[in-house]
Amino acid sequence: MLKSLMVAKAKEELEQEIVEKDEQKAKFLEEKAPPIRTGGLSLAELRILCEELHARIDVVDEERYDIEAKVLHNTREIKDLNIKVLDLRGKFKRPNLRRVRVSADAILRSLLGSKHKVSLDLRANLKSVKKEDTEKEKTAEVSDWRKNVEAMSGMEGRKKMFDAAKGQNQ
Domains of the chain, each with CATH number or no CATH: 12-89 (1.20.5.350)
Q: What is the pLDDT of residue 125?
A: 60
Residue 114 has pLDDT above 90, yes or no: no
Q: One-letter amino acid identity for 167?
A: G
CB 157 within 8 Å of CB 151: yes
Higher pLDDT, 44 or 127: 44
Residue 33: pLDDT band by 50, 70, 90 thresholds?
confident
- Gyration radius (Cα) of the chain, Å: 48
CA 6, 12, 16, 18 dihedral sign is positive
Residue 145 has pLDDT above 70, yes or no: no
The pTM for the full model equals: 0.35
Q: One-letter amino acid identity for 88?
A: L
Q: What is the pLDDT of residue 106?
A: 76
Distance of alpha carbon 156 from alpha carbon 162, whole angstroms: 10
DSSP state of 119: -
DSSP state of 101: -
CA 128, 133, 135, 138 dihedral sign is negative
Q: Which of 131, 129, 112 lies closest to 120, judged by CA?
A: 112
